[in-house]
Amino acid sequence: MAVRLLSHELSDLCLGKPALRSLSVTSTIADAIEVLKTSDENFVSVWSCKVCMVDVICYLCKDENLVSPSLALKKPVSVLLPKIPGLVIHVEPSCSLLEAIDLILEGAQNLVIPIKTKLSSKRKQHLKPSPTVTIHKGREFCWLTQEDVIRFLLSSIGLFSPIPACSIDTLGIISPEILTIEYHSPASAATGAISRALVDQTSIAVVDSDGTLIGEISPFTLACCDETVAAALKTLSSGDLMAYIDCGGPPEDLVRVVSTRLKERNLNGMLDHFTMSMTCGGFSSASSSSDEESMTTPVSPLPRSGRISRTTSYSARMVRRSEAIVCHPKSSLIAVMIQAIAHRVNYVWVIEDDCSLVGIVTFSDMLKVFREHLESMA
């Protein structure tokens, strides 16, 4: 069984994965937004990289772009691409599982792999690369993520016994290097941290003055919002921003606060863009009695059930619920793996019984453990 696991190639992990949708580097940011809003994915490929709504939001938070977002959205999408090399790496389908894990541990966010499809050669020649499936030299491609690799290892978890039953504390994979912001601090102070968390595929913990975890500002949640969240990020506190992106559409009182503060700061360009988006139904208003109650009820301390329970986040495309997923130092590796996969995040926060924040466990940390075991199996 161990030999069979080691013999797997990346093509085995790509079965059933859809072909990449792509944009030309000369496409505008507005083009990217349109593709993101109509796509089932939270990102779009720009061949050697990927772009998501978080990139757009952080870009619009720059002072010059807040003044004139209409001009900013006409810029080429290439201005959004990260300058960090090696985040996306192209590999062949014959690449081994061990080689893929090594690439991820070296910093690759995603691996791009050619896939076999049922499209005829003639049809491939007529497909345009923007914005549709990525075609290069007659080949289509797919992304392979850290989550894909973790899911694949989970399907053969018995081979790694007894490691999966060990606690994350015992395995030494709790990282104390975390991004945090205080609940009442301006959300704009977290803009740089959001960009970093996007690259690291983690999140920003929102804590109180005692270091208790209250919630998070997650790129995974922001990726499901629209570009006008930049206005909220620039004008609200961290706590209010959590409520703004987490209430099935921003509460009307926070929408008014954002509009007022944009006007006070003479950010008329963003105010016009924000107002138009709200008028056109960029978000649905929170109008039910349960939503109204959630607006007036303070966020409660972290429950012991393993997550912070807040209202459902529908955002612009009504797709992702935002929760801070937590575990304890004595939680088993397999339990933490399943938590992260079930909630479609790449990390789990680690807390003590009093809800004080200890650190974070990421897929990358988990892969280090499995990599060491696979090496011994080889």
Q: What is the DSSP string of 82-116?
A: -S-TTSEEE--TT-BHHHHHHHHHTT-SEEEEEE-
Among 231, 205, 179, 186, residue whose Cα is nearest residue 56: 231
Number of H helices, E strands in the chain: 19, 12
Q: Is the pLDDT of residue 217 over 60?
A: yes
First to last CA, the chain: 12
Q: Please state which of the ranges 170-174, 188-192, 279-283, 316-320 shows the lowest mean pLDDT.
A: 316-320
Predicted confidence band of residue 311 (pLDDT cuts 50, 70, 90) = very low
Q: 335 near 73, Cβ under 8 Å?
A: no
Work out the average pLDDT over 355-372.
Answer: 95
* The predicted structure's pLDDT at residue 18: 83
pTM of the predicted model over 0.85: no
38-68, pLDDT tens digit by residue?
Answer: 887 888 888 678 899 999 999 999 999 999 9
The predicted-structure confidence for 131-143, as pLDDT tens digits, reads as follows 454 555 557 888 8
Residue written as token pair 């994979």 = 173
CATH of 170-279+320-363, one of 3.40.50.620, 3.90.420.10, 3.40.1710.10, 3.10.580.10: 3.10.580.10
**What does the pLDDT read at residue 279?**
80
Asked, colleague to colleague, whether 1-120+130-159 and 170-279+320-363 share their fold, the answer is: yes
Q: Domain map of the chain by residue range?
A: 1-120+130-159, 170-279+320-363
Query: Is residue 281 over pLDDT 70?
Result: no
pLDDT over 90 for what percent of the chain?
A: 60
Reported as a single tens digit per residue, the pLDDT across 152-163 is: 999 999 989 999
Asked whether 110 and 143 are in contact (CB, 8 A), the reply is yes
Domain range 1-120+130-159, CATH architecture: Roll (3.10)
In this model, does residue 316 exceed pLDDT 80? no
Per-residue pLDDT, 296: 34
Q: Which two tokens stand for residue 310?
A: 């807040």
